[in-house]
Amino acid sequence: MPQALAKPLNPSPASPAVRVSTRENNFDLVRILAAVQVAIFHASAHLQLPPEGVWAQLARVFQVFPGVPIFFVVSGFLISASYERKQELRPYLRARLLRIYPALWICFAVSLLVACAFGFLPLDVVFSPKFAAWCVAQVTFVQFFNPSFLREFGVGVLNGSLWTIPVELTFYVCVPALYALLVRGRARPTSNALLAVVALASFAVGYAMDTGVFGPPRSFQQRLVQATIAPHLHLFMLGMLAQLNWDAVERLVRGRFLLWVVPYTVLAMALHEQLVAGPLLTALARVLLAGTVLSGAFSARSLSAKVLRHQDVSYGFYLYHMVIINAFVEKGLVGRPMYLLAALGIAVIAALASWRLVEKPMLALKASRA
């Protein structure tokens, strides 16, 4: 993810100059909390924790703040600003690839070692065409491909969380196209209206998916739609629209976290408990979630630096947590909260190693070529 927002070299009428220092926001903290939400949700389910108790209640609370949508909102804000800052397509794409792929490839290598250690990669599998195809998929942009020879390992998918990687990569490719078609050279009201139409279309697809239009939750059609940007693009564009209109949005979110998180939490809990329903309330909840995320990033702005000390460990934590949970499931370490804590602790260690040994050096390389 970009580490700062800077003034565009040639801001368009629809794009005000934005300048935000890495030391002036809590995006690193927002992302790690989102990653923890995803990990606790997965661990509670796959490690078979009792349906009642502290961890079960915590998982229910965390469901109100879904990690993946939060990632997408943050990406929309930061990635659009990164594109504006770089202006040229090649350095923009290079920076994005350096941020995603080196850590992803190391995680894949570790995942192979884990699968091998548990006996799921015998020589006849390793030398098969299906294994080669799976490896190519994992190191490119088809991470949701799940081969048959791993479906008996752990929860049945070696690293199921990585379905979001192709979605993020598609976001990166879409940003230059969105700017070229809907932003550059247009007045801001016109650009905002066009982007809003695209966002509403995406929301309609997402709402249809959530309400079963594309079939049951685990059906092939449902999984196919989920692996595209169609149902998720509106979340990315909420962040993008906020960044494009930051001169107005900043006054609404900076230092006003409670004014956003309280109404969002009330509405999200009501929707989750099915006390209320409908597309308008769901759309309002998405807008309130985006406002909560951005307000959290720009309230008590030194909090992230104090807690994380500029260590952006969210990506590594997200990459490794399901590999570790799979190992616990395969070993039969399930049913007790201590196993959840142990799995999350190991994920933290893996995330710190990924940050210090892989991601941070790549960010330095990216900066040296900027």
- At 367 the pLDDT is 62
CA distance from start to end of the chain: 15
- At 23 the pLDDT is 54
CA atoms within 13 A on the CB side of 360: 11
- In this predicted model, what pLDDT tens digit does every residue of 20-70 receive, in sequence order? 444 589 999 999 999 999 999 999 989 998 877 776 777 777 889 999 999
- At 369 the pLDDT is 59
- At 326 the pLDDT is 97
- At 242 the pLDDT is 98
Spans of the chain below 70 pLDDT: 1-23, 55, 367-370
Number of helical H runs and strand E runs in the chain: 17, 0
Whole-angstrom CA distances from 292 to 24, 282, 285, 298 are 17, 15, 10, 10
Rounded percentage of the chain residues whose pLDDT exceeds 90: 78
- In this predicted model, what pLDDT tens digit does every residue of 179-190 receive, in sequence order? 999 999 999 999
